[in-house]
């Protein structure tokens, strides 16, 4: 499987190299960089796929290895174990690890300005605000329970009044009415539910006080020191890819059907929906991956509500400035 990836990567590299002028091919000896994604290949990573297919990383002198993620992949672990140089994380877990275990992480960018996780429910039994959750059963992945608790607290809802059960990323119980709502990516699940029949409604935790980024770009301090140039190049090429991808959210996903999306069992229609829905959550006035001082402050404040003491030093905006 990784062999397959290597080969595809190699081919795309060859293709890209062929289109470049001879001088630029000679100018850069590509340096290797490994990127651990946080989920299986879907539209969440369309920007990186675009950048790879279009050879943006190669142009930046990077030999990028892309590792797919999945539900049980802990992206931060890949950094500590040295399996990857850069990854995408949920900021609360990363910052918790820095605070509680002294993990040597730095956040150097944020893919989602607004965290896409939210409360999803059926339109026939809609839950539109945190207050609507009182007396209901809400399925939450155990990892995200603290985020939900923070949102409830900020909204003044008693934690004990909501029945929180584990969520295994399967919307079937919601569709069948076994639970009233679930916590999931609002960019994606409503589409799956619609495919199964009912209409869905959702709200973002972000809009009810849990003002965090998501898919924060994280590196270890060691890599930050030793591969700064490569990281800036990575951010630059990735931003280019994202800009291309979001210009028309329906344009690029079909081109990944037989490559990146092969075998995931998801329809291109679904990816286009996802891509369209995530556009407003990703785009930033300062460019993709921006971390404005205001939004960093909002993150610190939201995390404080769940007892995670984030500080400004955990965010390093200097690489973004170099792009």
Partner 1 sequence: MGIDLRRIYGSIRNLAIIVIVWEILGRLQLVASGALPPPSAVVLRLIKDWGDYPGHIGATIFGAGVGFIIGNAVAIAAGVLFALYPLTSRVARGLNIAIFALPAIAISPILVLTLSDPVPRIVLAAIGCYFVTMTATVVGLTQVDARSVDVVRAYGGGKWKALWLVQWRSALPVILSGLRVAAPNAVLGSILAEFGGGGRWGLGVYLLGSLGRAEPDRLWGIGLVATLIAAAAYAVFALIANSITGSSQSVTVPTSLLRSDEEGRVRPLWQRGALIASSIALPFALWWVLLLALRVPAMIAKTPAGLLDYLVLLPSAPIAQGKLVAALAQTLPMTFIGMAAGLALAFALALCSQLWPAVVRAFMPVALVTQTMPLVALTPLLVLMLGRGTAVILAITISVTFFPAFVTMAQGLLMVPRAALEVPKAYGASLFTQLRLVSIPSSLPYLFAATRLTAPRALLGVMIAEWLATGTGLGNLLNQSRGYLDYGMIWSVAFVSVVLSVLFYQVVVVVERRVLGRFGMASAQ
- Binder of partner 1 out of 59, 76, 180, 271 (CB under 8 A): 76
Q: d(Cα 30, Cα 61) in Å, to the nearest integer?
A: 4
Closest approach, Cβ 88 to partner 1, in A, equals 13
Out of 32, 142, 254, 307, name the contact with partner 1 by CB under 8 A.
142
Kindly give the pairing relationship between strand 137-140 and strand 62-67.
Answer: unpaired
Give ∠ CA 279-282-119 in degrees, rounded to 5: 80
Give residues with Cβ within 8 angstroms of 296, minimum separation 6: 312, 315, 317
Eight-state DSSP code of residue 314: G
Question: Least distance to partner 1 from the beta carbon of 19, Å?
Answer: 26
Distance between CA atoms of 140 and 169, rounded to whole angstroms? 9
41 lies in the site for partner 1, by CB under 8 A: yes
Q: How is residue 162 annotated by DSSP?
A: S
How much helix, strand and coil, in percent to the nearest 5, is found in the chain? Answer: 50, 20, 35
- Indicate the residue among 170 and 199 with the shorter CB distance to partner 1: 170
103 is a site residue for partner 1 (CB under 8 A): yes
**Residue 173 sits in the site that holds partner 1 (CB under 8 A):** yes
Based on CB atoms, which residue is closest to partner 1, 267 or 276? 267
Minimum separation from the CB atom of position 272 to partner 1 (A)? 16
Residue 77 binds to partner 1 (criterion: CB under 8 A)? yes
Which of 123, 129, 170, 221 contacts partner 1 by CB under 8 A? 170
Half-sphere exposure of 75 (CA within 13 A, CB side): 29
A 10 A CB-CB count for 302 gives: 25
From candidates 160, 265, 285, 294, binder to partner 1 by CB under 8 A: 265
Helix axes 268-282, 228-247, angle to 10 degrees: 110
141 binds partner 1 (CB under 8 A): yes
Residue 267 near residue 173 (C-beta atoms within 8 A): no
Question: How many whole angstroms separate alpha carbon 291 and alpha carbon 276?
Answer: 22
CB 73 within 8 Å of CB 59: no
CB 36 within 8 A of CB 178: no
Rounded to the nearest whole angstrom, what is the least distance from the CB of residue 278 to partner 1 in the complex? 16
Binding window for partner 1 (CB under 8 A); candidates: 185-193, 210-218, 229-237, 279-287: 185-193
Torsion, Cα 29 323 108 313, to 10 degrees, reads 120
* 192 in contact with partner 1 (CB under 8 A): yes
Least Å distance between CB 41 and partner 1? 6
**Residue 35 CB, nearest distance to partner 1 (Å)?**
13
Segment contacting partner 1 (CB under 8 A): 138-146, 151-159, 228-236, 293-301?
A: 138-146
Among 7, 24, 27, 70, binds partner 1 (CB under 8 A): 70
Strand partners, 217: 88, 109
- Closest-CA residue to 45 (of 37, 33, 55): 37
When the beta carbons of 193 and 288 are compared against partner 1, the nearer one is 193
DSSP state of 217: E
- Contact region with partner 1 (CB under 8 A), list: 12-20, 72-80, 243-251, 285-293: 72-80
Work out whether 1 is an interface residue with partner 1 (CB under 8 A).
Answer: yes
| Of positions 68, 121, 211, 290, contacts partner 1 by CB under 8 A | 68
Q: Which residues bind partner 1 (CB under 8 A)?
A: 1-2, 4-5, 40-41, 67-74, 76-77, 80-83, 93-94, 96-97, 101, 103, 141-145, 164-166, 168-173, 175-178, 184, 188-189, 192-193, 195-196, 262-266
């Amino acid at each position: 499987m990784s062999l397959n990836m290597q080969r595809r990567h190699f081919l795309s590299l060859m293709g890209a190299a062929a289109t470049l002028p001879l001088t630029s091919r000679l100018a850069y000896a590509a340096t290797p960089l490994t990127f651990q994604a946080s989920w299986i290949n879907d539209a969440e990573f369309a920007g990186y796929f675009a950048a790879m297919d279009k050879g943006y990383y190669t142009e930046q002198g990077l030999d990028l290895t892309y590792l797919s993620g999945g539900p049980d992949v802990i992206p931060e672990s890949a950094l500590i174990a040295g399996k990857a140089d850069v990854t995408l994380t949920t900021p609360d877990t990363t910052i918790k690890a820095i605070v509680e275990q002294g993990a040597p992480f730095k956040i150097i960018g944020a893919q989602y300005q607004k965290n896409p996780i939210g409360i999803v429910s059926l339109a026939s039994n809609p839950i539109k605000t945190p207050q609507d959750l009182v007396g209901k059963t809400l399925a939450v992945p155990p990892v995200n329970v603290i985020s939900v608790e923070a949102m409830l607290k900020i909204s003044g809802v008693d934690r004990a009044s909501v029945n929180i059960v584990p969520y295994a990323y399967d919307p079937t119980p919601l569709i069948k009415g076994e639970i009233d709502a679930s916590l999931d990516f609002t960019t994606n699940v409503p589409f799956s539910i619609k495919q199964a029949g009912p209409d869905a409604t959702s709200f973002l935790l972000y809009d009810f006080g849990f003002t965090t980024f998501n898919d924060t770009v994280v590196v270890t301090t060691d890599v930050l020191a030793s591969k700064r140039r490569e990281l800036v190049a990575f951010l630059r090429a990735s931003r280019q890819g994202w800009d291309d991808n979001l210009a028309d959210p329906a344009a690029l996903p079909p081109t990944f059907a037989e490559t990146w999306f092969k075998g995931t069992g998801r329809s291109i229609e679904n990816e286009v929906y996802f891509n369209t829905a995530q556009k407003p959550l990703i785009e930033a006035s300062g460019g993709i991956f921006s971390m404005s001082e205001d939004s960093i402050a909002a993150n610190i404040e939201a995390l404080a509500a769940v007892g995670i003491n984030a500080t400004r030093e955990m965010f390093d905006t200097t690489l973004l400035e170099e792009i």
